[in-house]
Structure 1
Amino acid sequence: MPTRLKSFIGMLLLVTMVIVYALVATTVATYRLADSEWYIHLAFFGLSGLLWVVPAMFVISWMLKPSKKEIERNKQ
């Protein structure tokens, strides 16, 4: 798969993932943390703010990995 196509697909995946993740995290916080203390809110939003990085890391590493054709082309 060409690098430009992988970058485009990865960008769409990342944008979609961040939007869905933000909506889910906010919904969980609204319904589960309504009566919680401030430090519970801080811990939840701190953890959920960092948790999306893990799947994004895999998408970005896939985007940056060269295709087999590019590897063969660079060997020559």
Structure 2
Amino acid sequence: LLRRKQRYFFDRLRTRLALSEVDLSEDTEARVIKRSGVPEAQVRALFTRLRRLHRTRMPESRDLIELDQALDRFYDEVGR
């Protein structure tokens, strides 16, 4: 489920923000901050959450719910 959410997020970054290469790097994070119009703190928190969950072998359901809510807020900001 986490990988699917991450793939969808990356696809949204490619299509909505015209980013050709996306990953969880700080470079991608900086480009998203610059192009999205979403508050910097919100983007940084989202990338931090994604990186942490990416390193987690078995994420808790609570963490996935919080990720889903953070992604929804991000999508609302950049336009669905």
Larger Rg: 1
TM class by smaller structure: 0.3 to 0.5
Choose between structure 1 and 2: higher helix proportion. Answer: 1
Larger RCO (CA within 8 A; separation ≥ 6): 1
